[in-house]
């Protein structure tokens, strides 16, 4: 490793001390300071490891060489217009996140498809009630975003036998999936019975889950939103649920997290809230991924999971 001694890592996380101990163990010789807890000279900071830094966080970090996002998404960093655009951002991705997201999407598509909530209710009420589901091949599921996570979800859904469509910016081919490109959004949405959103948050994808999008879906379609809360227009969701245009929604991400206990979303009978855990992995595994990316950077190389700041993801 070339330069660990002169490099200083600033950590911004609610779990800052854990990250400090982990990185010092994984990257011998590295100095780490924790935002909000340790004193440091901003000009000495060469790397940042962060989740949801406050606006203005980067303004005095004049020696910054790269930022490592604790998370696969980076909108929590790029939302700051003061982020220095020449400084690369590396995101945290890998097989553990992919299999977690594949589990989450499969779980909730199957829960709705096999009417599990009603099955549980009948069982609790000692009612012998058979709920039959159509064959999976007759059910159209659309996945928005066919990247690391959307790709894993689409592959899992294909494996379960669903008829899977995918929507991505470039519309690149994807095995087993009927792929649509950015300009084909309406054709992609038309007649879907399930819509799964695994897009990154960019200026083009914000508010994409709105009444216009819902109007193309099959009546009573089901939404699973696990990309970012900023994709969803909450008022349009509630209207679509109340009108029956949507049959249910499963939401993992929100504009403000944690979701306020007074939010009406918690109370809607056809809404299931999960708490940004769709692709949550073991912290130790996440630490290993970030540590490996930091070692690559310190060796003077760029990790493969560097973000295209022009595209915003």
Site string for ligand NDP, 254-293 (x = CB under 6 A): ----------------------x-xxx-------------
The smaller minimum CB distance to ligand NDP, of residues 193 and 225, is found at: 225
Question: Quick check: 130 and 137 in contact, CB under 8 A?
Answer: no
Residue 163 pairs in a beta bridge with: 140
Contact residue for ligand NDP among 16, 53, 142, 150 (CB under 6 A): 150
CB–CB of 149/103 below 8 Å? no
Strands of 66-69's sheet in order across: 31-34, 8-12, 47-50, 66-69, 89-90
- Show the beta-strand stretches assigned E in 86-229: 89-90, 140-144, 163-168, 178-181, 194-197, 221-225
Query: Of 48, 64, 146, 224, which one interacts with ligand NDP (CB under 6 A)?
Result: 146
- Give 222's strand partners: 194, 248
Partner from ligand OXD, ligand NDP, none contacting 233, C-beta within 5 to 8 A by type: none
Is residue 100 annotated as part of the catalytic site, yes or no? no
* Interface pick for ligand OXD out of 9, 45, 49, 72 (rule CB under 6 A): 72
Q: How far is the CB of 73 from ligand OXD (least distance, A)?
A: 3
* Active-site annotation holds for 276: yes
Give kind and range of the element (H or E) at residue 249. strand 246-251
Chain residues binding ligand NDP by CB under 6 A are: 71-73, 93, 145-150, 167-170, 172, 182, 198-202, 204-205, 226-228, 252-253, 276, 278-280, 313
What are the catalytic residues? 228, 276
């Amino acid at each position: 490793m070339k330069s660990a001694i002169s490099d200083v890592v600033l950590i911004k996380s609610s779990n800052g001390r854990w990250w400090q101990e982990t990185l010092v163990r994984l990257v011998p010789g590295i100095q780490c300071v924790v935002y909000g807890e340790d004193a440091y000279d901003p000009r000495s900071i060469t790397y940042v490891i962060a989740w949801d830094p406050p606006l203005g966080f980067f303004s005095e970090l004049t020696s910054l060489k790269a930022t490592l996002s604790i998370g696969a998404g980076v909108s929590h960093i790029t939302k700051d217009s003061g982020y220095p655009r020449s400084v690369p951002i590396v995101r945290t991705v890998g097989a553990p996140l992919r299999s977690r997201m594949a589990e989450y999407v499969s779980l909730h598509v199957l829960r709705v498809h096999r009417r599990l909530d009603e099955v549980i209710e009948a069982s609790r009420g000692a009612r012998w009630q058979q709920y039959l589901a159509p064959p999976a091949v007759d059910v159209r599921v659309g996945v928005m975003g066919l990247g690391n996570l959307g790709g894993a979800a689409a592959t899992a859904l294909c494996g379960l036998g669903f008829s899977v469509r995918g929507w991505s910016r470039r519309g690149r081919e994807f095995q087993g999936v009927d792929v649509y490109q950015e300009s084909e959004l309406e054709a992609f949405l038309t007649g879907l019975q399930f819509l799964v959103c695994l897009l990154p948050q960019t200026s083009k994808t914000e508010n994409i889950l709105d009444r216009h999008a819902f109007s193309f879906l099959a009546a009573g379609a089901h939404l699973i939103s696990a990309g970012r809360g900023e994709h969803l227009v909450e008022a349009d969701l509630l209207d679509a649920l109340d009108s029956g245009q949507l049959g249910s929604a499963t939401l993992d991400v929100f504009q403000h997290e944690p979701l306020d206990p007074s939010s009406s979303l918690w109370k809607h009978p056809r809404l299931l809230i999960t708490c940004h855990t769709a692709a949550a992995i073991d912290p130790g595994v996440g630490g290993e991924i970030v540590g490996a990316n930091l070692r690559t950077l310190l060796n003077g190389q760029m990790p493969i999971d560097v973000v295209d700041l022009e595209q915003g993801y």
